[in-house]
Structure 1
Amino acid sequence: MMDGQELKQELQQIKKNNYVVPEDVDAFPYAQWMMDYIGSTDAELRDELIYSTLERWITGEVFRQKELRGLLLQALSPDYLFYKIGEKGTDSVFKRAFSILIPPLILSVHEKEPFLSEEQLYSVAEQVLEYVYLEQDVRGYVDGRGWAHSTAHAADALDALARTIRNHEFSHAILTVVRHKVRLHDYIYINFEDERLVTAVMSLWNQNILSQEEWNNWLHSFTIIEDAPASQNDILVQNIRTFLRSLYFRALEQEGNSGFTVAILETLQKWHRF
């Protein structure tokens, strides 16, 4: 089995060759080896080579359906998505934050030609939701290490699930976890995390599963804040306002002056006193 440096050199060559699978390579075990280094602190290896190659191969029909299921199970396993979960400010975040990018790639293949059972889909959903709740390290760009961006990456997974699973209870679960992720009081999102979360919310809106009243209730829940030190409240309010503004303009662009857009604006206006 090759080490990280050898893998990097090989992947650089594969990238130069437009991500064509080399003739002497069996793509599935090779992808499993790539996954072993998906948490590398080398941004080029992790992001530009491993993730980019996996993205091209997964969406480019390189793998059989059975192999895609294998990669999905690997990405969602305790050694990947839940690796050292709960740590903050450590390098373990890279393994988790890049493992969560694999499910949306595989779900995008499933969208075109379904191959996952309902039971498998709900298992993926359950693990993704659990990860989003448990992830404590929400840093975006990390100096010397590149992107961690766990919230944005998790939002991509939530977006894929919102497009794939049509279920009333699960729709509420997505909205609840998005609210949980927005309502941070110890970190200000500065790397467009709000935009990625909004994409997931709009995918859910497009499914037309929830009533206007249910959407209104969800929006209203953003106006309730707990007693906390002023500095923490300032961070919380900033995150909420940024998210609601992004949601408003995305909804306005898509829906025009709809009931949904008006409800978002009314929620946003309640924050003007801060």
Structure 2
Amino acid sequence: MSGRYWKQVLERGLAVPTDRPLAELTAELTTLLGSPDPELRDGVAYPTLGTWIDRGVYDELLVGLGDGMAAGLATGLGESDTDTVFRRSFSVLVLATVVERDTSQHLVPGEKVLRWGDQIVSWFLRERDLRGFVPGKGWAHAVAHGADAVGSLAGSRHFGLNELTVLLDVVADRLLQSDQPLLYGEPDRLAHAVMGVLRRNLVPTRVVEPWIARIAARANSHLTRGHVDPYRPTLNAQHFLRALYLQLSLGPTPPADRADLVLVTVDALRASNPWTLGR
């Protein structure tokens, strides 16, 4: 169908059209999630699917919808600088909304949500297209969208201590995998996802502290490397630690052990910035 059809749907407040079956509409919207046209992808497909999920349109079909979005994570996986990234990156946003719907309404079996979690994590760590804004095509933003999905998983009632600890490791792995600078707000989104884990108050400080130390070790590496550009490999870790500090200090609904975590993060920042934060 033409963009004009969906523009009319938007103008009607995203009421579900009655002239076509829901399955047909959903299939078309799923295809549009991978469109290189930001107006169709970001302006139509994602907000329409997200709104319909939030309104309960898919409550009886939530498992099937989630499975379809999870399948989209494999589309072109391993490619870089191609348009397939849009399908993966926006599928994970919709899947995150599905998880959030289950969290609020208890509609999906736990084993299914855990399976989606495995698929999200596998995609997130294997994604190679780390572009943020693509000129002429809008946001790809796979790392930021993956971080949002991790945050949604962190809020799931099906995720306990072990699963939440894995999510922390996934964030660190994604952050430290590559020296490619993340310049489009991704460190802030990753830190926000981590706050979703910490606010559950299930992962103890004795587990979080060495996790922060692992990231701090990368942030400190410019102090010892004989590298042509010693700051490039540390950039993402540095930005993340700053973002985490801001989230812990200024974010709403702080975790129970915020004071201890702030001190740990401050120590990491001081150690990796001795010229500007030295005592």
Q: Same fold (TM over 0.5)?
A: yes
2:66 to 59, 67, 72: 72
Q: In the alignment, what sits opposite 1:126?
A: 118
Q: How many residues align?
A: 266
Q: How big is the shift at 1:229? A: 7.1
After superposition, give the CA deviation of every residue in 1:24-74 in whole Å (9 maximum; x if it has no partner): 133233112210221111110011011111111111112232x22111111
Give the conservation status (yes or no) of the 8 Å contact 2:59–2:107: no
Partner residue, 1:113: 105
Partner of 2:181: 188
Deviation at 1:152, TM superposition (A): 0.7
The whole-number CA distance in structure 2 between the counterparts of 1:133 and 1:201 is 16
Structure 1 pair 270–126 and aligned structure 2 pair: CA distance change class (3 A): same
Partner of 2:155, secondary structure, is: helix
Q: Indicate yes or no: 2:215 matched with 1:253.
A: no
Unaligned runs of 5+ in 2: none
Q: Show CA shifts across 1:195-235 (max 9, x none).
A: 21111111110111111111101001113347977256522
Give the CA deviation at 1:238: 1.4
> What does residue 270 of structure 1 align with?
271
Q: Which whole-Å CA distance do the structure 1 matches of 2:226 and 2:126 have between them?
A: 24
Alignment of 1:168-247 (within 5 A): 168-225=161-218, 230=227, 233-247=230-244
User: For 1:233 and 1:28, how far apart are their aligned partners in 2?
Assistant: 53
Counterpart selection for 1:140 from 129, 132, 149: 132
d(CA) in 1 for partners of 2:122, 2:245? 28
CA RMSD in angstroms, aligned pairs only: 1.9
Distance 1:93 1:231 in 2: 31
- Do the aligned partners of 1:185 and 1:235 also contact (CA within 8 Å) in 2? no
Task: Give the C-alpha shift of residue 174 in structure 1.
Answer: 0.7
Aligned match for 2:144, one of 152, 159, 163:
152
Kindly provide the amino acid, as one letter, of the partner of residue 64 in structure 2: G
Alignment of 1:78-117 (within 5 A): 80-117=72-109
| Cα distance change of structure 1 residues 259 and 41 upon mapping to structure 2, 3 Å threshold | same
Question: Does the aligned pair in 2 maintain the 1:28–1:63 contact within 8 Å?
Answer: no
Cα distance in 2 between the residues matched to 1:229 and 1:86: 31
Q: Which amino acid aligns with 1:44?
A: E
Taking only the aligned residue pairs, the percentage that are identical comes to: 26
Contact 2:62 2:108 in 1 (8 A): no
User: Aligned in 2, Cα 1:229/1:12: closer, same or farther, shift over 3 Å?
Assistant: farther
Using the TM superposition, name which of 39-48 and 184-193 deviates more. 184-193
Larger mean Cα displacement after TM superposition, 29-38 or 201-210: 29-38
Cα distance change on mapping 1:102 and 1:257 into 2, 3 Å = closer
Provide the residue aligned with 1:13 in structure 2: 8
Give 1:76's aligned amino acid.
A
Alpha-carbon distance between aligned partners in 2 of 1:9 and 1:84, rounded to the nearest angstrom: 29
Cα distance in 2 for residues equivalent to 1:34 and 1:155: 23
2:62–2:107 Cα contact (<8 Å) kept: no
- Does the 8 A contact of 1:185 with 1:233 survive in 2? no
CA contact 1:75–1:99 (8 Å) conserved in 2: yes
Larger CA deviation: 40-49 vs 248-257:
248-257
- 2:231 alignment partner, SS class: helix
Distance 2:66 2:226 in 1: 42
Give the structure-1-normalised TM-score: 0.91
The answer to whether the 8 Å contact 1:27/1:63 transfers is no
For residue 23 of structure 1, what is the amino acid of its counterpart? Answer: T
Matched with 1:48 is 43
Q: Distance in 2 between matches of 1:232 and 1:84?
A: 32
Q: Secondary structure at the match of 1:251?
A: helix
Task: State the distance in 2 between where 1:21 and 1:237 align.
Answer: 48
How far apart are the structure 1 equivalents of 2:24 and 2:229? Answer: 47
Pairing partner for 1:38 from 23, 33, 37 = 33
